[in-house]
């Protein structure tokens, strides 16, 4: 006897709501990216602001001091580094073009050469995010400046208020989901605070190691390569590989033997990072399954570009904590039924 299968209106409404939610997330991905980035920044600097508050410093004043200090350090670094960086970047791009030209001149098949050139154009377009037209460049710059300013303002307001992120979630969440989301958020917050501080420290350390290493080896544009290594370190999984590849490419354009030394150096640094620095600095508490990180990396890149890639670890942590929460909840229900 065949069973009759019926779908209730409640199920249909849930499916429609879920599809509309996915569409809304896609359309508002830049605004949601600003909000998520601001939340991560606010959670990251909250221990510093809270520490200043224990020293009898007003929270508003402490938050202003932290943000002004960060802006001052960033502005100072840009002021002193940017002129040198721009000067070296011009020669750096020439070396990259020369190295690519030498690769193309190896007698490779035309199809492979065309594929390589197309891939390089896609990579450059991915990281610049702008068309090579004046209107497109201006529009992209203005949009990104607005996004950066919005991120700073939102993170500032979330930091000024005690438990600002949690209070924001209480305001925007329906009562039905509030308890579950806040339970996940408590776990998420602890791990993200650790990730925020340790990731910045690790990026700075790797950037210094790469810059000094390239300078000692005699590779040109060591400053650019060091800064690039620090920035790429923010990108999980593929970041260190990309920075190492570019360093080897620049070194090979000077001499083949120097390229081998640069390759050996990059390999040693990545092994040191993977087996010593990350286990010690990140600690066991921040471990996320590599498959989860890669899925979050691909999803973040597709939805929000470079910002999505940088936020892939917080996204992976959020996904893992959500999965763990509902798994524990299901296990507790099963034990009660038994």
**pLDDT the model gives residue 264:** 94
Measured distance CA(76)–CA(73) in Å, rounded: 5
Measured distance CA(56)–CA(51) in Å, rounded: 9
Measured distance CA(298)–CA(308) in Å, rounded: 9
Segments in the chain below pLDDT 70:
1-8, 77-78, 80-137, 236-237, 278-293, 303-307, 310, 333-338
**pLDDT the model gives residue 186:** 81
**pLDDT the model gives residue 127:** 47
Phi, psi of 164 (to 5 degrees): -60, -40
Residue with tokens 């990350």: 278
Q: What DSSP element (H or E) covers 63? A: helix 59-104
Got the DSSP string for 187-211?
HHHHHHHHHHHHHHHHHHHHHHHHH
Q: What DSSP element (H or E) covers 128? A: helix 110-128
Per the CB < 8 A criterion, the answer to whether 81 and 227 are in contact is: yes
């Amino acid at each position: 006897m065949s069973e009759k299968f019926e779908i209730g209106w409640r199920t249909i409404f849930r499916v429609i709501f879920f599809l509309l939610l996915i569409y809304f997330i896609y359309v508002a991905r830049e605004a949601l990216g600003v909000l998520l980035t601001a939340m991560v920044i606010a959670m990251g600097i909250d221990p510093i602001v809270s520490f200043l508050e224990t020293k009898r410093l007003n929270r508003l004043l402490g938050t202003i001091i932290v943000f002004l200090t960060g802006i001052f350090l960033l502005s100072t670094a840009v002021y002193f580094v940017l002129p040198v960086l721009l000067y070296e970047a011009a020669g750096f791009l020439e070396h990259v073009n020369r190295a690519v030209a030498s690769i193309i001149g190896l007698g490779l098949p035309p199809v492979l050469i065309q594929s390589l050139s197309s891939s390089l154009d896609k990579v450059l377009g991915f990281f610049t995010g702008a068309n090579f037209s004046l209107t497109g460049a201006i529009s992209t710059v203005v949009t990104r400046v607005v996004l950066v300013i919005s991120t700073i303002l939102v993170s500032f307001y979330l930091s000024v208020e005690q438990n600002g992120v949690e209070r924001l979630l209480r305001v925007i969440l329906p009562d039905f989901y509030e308890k579950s989301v806040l339970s996940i958020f408590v776990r998420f917050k602890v791990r993200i605070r650790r990730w925020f501080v340790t990731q910045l420290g690790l990026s700075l350390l790797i950037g210094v190691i790469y810059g000094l290493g390239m300078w000692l080896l005699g590779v040109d544009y060591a400053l650019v390569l060091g800064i690039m290594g620090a920035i790429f370190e923010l990108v999980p999984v593929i970041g260190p590989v990309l920075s190492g590849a570019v360093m080897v490419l620049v070194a090979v354009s000077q001499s083949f033997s120097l390229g081998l030394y640069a390759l050996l150096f990059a390999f040693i640094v990545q092994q040191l990072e993977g087996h010593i620095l990350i286990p010690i600095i990140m600690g066991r508490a921040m471990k996320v399954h590599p498959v989860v990180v890669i899925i979050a990396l691909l999803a973040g890149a597709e939805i929000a570009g470079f910002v999505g890639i940088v936020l892939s670890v917080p996204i992976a942590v959020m996904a893992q904590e959500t999965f763990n929460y509902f798994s524990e909840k299901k296990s507790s229900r099963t034990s009660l039924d038994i």
